[in-house]
Amino acid sequence: MNVIKTQILLIIFTTTIFISAFLLFAIQPMFTKMILPQLGGAPSVWSVAMVFFQTVLLAGYLYAHLLTKYLAIKWAAFIHIILTSTAIMFLPISASISYGSAPENGQTIWLIGMFLTSVGLPFFAVAANGPLLQAWFARSEHSHAANPYFLYAASNLGSFTALLLFPILFEPLLRIKQQSYAWSFGFVLLVVFIILSAFIVCRPKSVTLKTRQIIDSHSQDERPSLKLILKWIGLSFIPSGLLLAVTTHITTDIAAAPFLWILPLALFLFTFVLVFRDQQILPIVLLERLFPALSCILFMLNIVNIGNFLVQFLFHIGFFFIAALIFHNRLYKLRPHPHYLTSFYLWMSFGGVLGGLFCGLVAPAIFNRVLEYPILISASVIGSALFFKPSQKQIYNQVIPVVLIGLILCFLVNVISSESIKNNNFYIYYGLVVLVVFLLVFYQKAYVLAAAIPMLFLLNDSIQTVVNHRTYERSFFGVHKIDIVENGQFRTLNHGVTLHGAIRTSNADGSPLPDRPKPLTYYHKEGPNAETFRLSGQDKASRQIGIVGLGTGAHACNGVETDKISYFEIDPIVYKIARDENLFRYLSACAPNSHVILGDARLTLANEPKDKFDYLLIDAFSSDAIPTHLLTKEAFALYLGLIKEDGLLAMHISNSHLELESVIAALVKEAGVQAVVKYDINKAPASLESRSSSHVVAISKTSRVLAGLLTDNGWAVLQDKGIVAWSDDYSNVFGALWRRYTR
Report the chain (743 residues): mean pLDDT per 10 consecutive residues. Answer: 68 87 84 69 66 85 86 86 90 71 68 83 89 80 67 78 81 84 92 88 56 46 80 91 82 54 81 79 78 71 58 81 90 84 86 85 79 81 69 56 60 51 50 58 60 67 65 77 82 79 83 85 90 81 89 89 90 89 89 87 87 91 70 92 92 84 93 91 72 89 84 85 86 80 71
- Would you say 191 and 88 are in contact if contact means Cβ atoms under 8 Å apart? yes
What's the CA gap between 426 and 417, in Å, rounded? 10
What's the CA gap between 659 and 665, in Å, rounded? 11
User: Do you find a cis peptide bond into 517, omega within 30 degrees of 0?
Assistant: no
Instruction: Return the closest-CA partner of residue 234 out of 350, 344, 318, 375.
Output: 350
**What is the pTM assigned to this prediction?**
0.72
Give me the DSSP letters along 652-681: E---SS---HHHHHHHHHHHT-EEEEEEE-
Sequence-distant (6+) residues with CB within 8 A of 291 are: 322, 323, 326, 380, 381, 384, 446
What's the CA gap between 47 and 363, in Å, rounded? 11
- Alpha carbon 346 to chain centroid, angstroms: 26
What's the CA gap between 76 and 132, in Å, rounded? 9
Give residue 675's pLDDT.
93
Give residue 417's pLDDT.
44
What's the CA gap between 740 and 553, in Å, rounded? 29
Instruction: Return the closest-CA partner of residue 574 out of 485, 651, 476.
Output: 476
Phi, psi (5° rounding) for residue 467? -60, -45
Helical H segments across 386-527, by residue range: 392-394, 400-414, 418-422, 426-443, 446-467
Give 42's DSSP letter: -
What's the CA gap between 222 and 241, in Å, rounded? 30
Give residue 203's pLDDT.
67
- To 5 degrees, how large is the angle CA 684–CA 685–CA 688? 160
What's the CA gap between 411 and 409, in Å, rounded? 5
What's the CA gap between 614 and 237, in Å, rounded? 53
Tell which phi-psi region holds residue 487, choosing left (phi > 0), alpha (psi between -120 and 50) or beta. Answer: left
> If DSSP codes are grouped into helix, strand and coil, which group holds residue 616?
strand
Give residue 408's pLDDT.
61
- Alpha carbon 395 to chain centroid, angstroms: 37
- To 5 degrees, how large is the angle CA 535–CA 541–CA 544? 65
> If DSSP codes are grouped into helix, strand and coil, which group holds residue 604?
helix
Question: Cα-Cα-Cα-Cα dihedral of 671, 673, 674, 678, to 10°?
Answer: -30
DSSP H or E segment with residue 504: strand 498-504
User: Do you find a cis peptide bond into 258, omega within 30 degrees of 0?
Assistant: no
> If DSSP codes are grouped into helix, strand and coil, which group holds residue 557?
helix
Phi, psi (5° rounding) for residue 719? -105, 135
Give residue 638's pLDDT.
94
- Would you say 67 and 132 are in contact if contact means Cβ atoms under 8 Å apart? yes
What's the CA gap between 628 and 634, in Å, rounded? 12
Give residue 422's pLDDT.
43
What's the CA gap between 597 and 587, in Å, rounded? 14
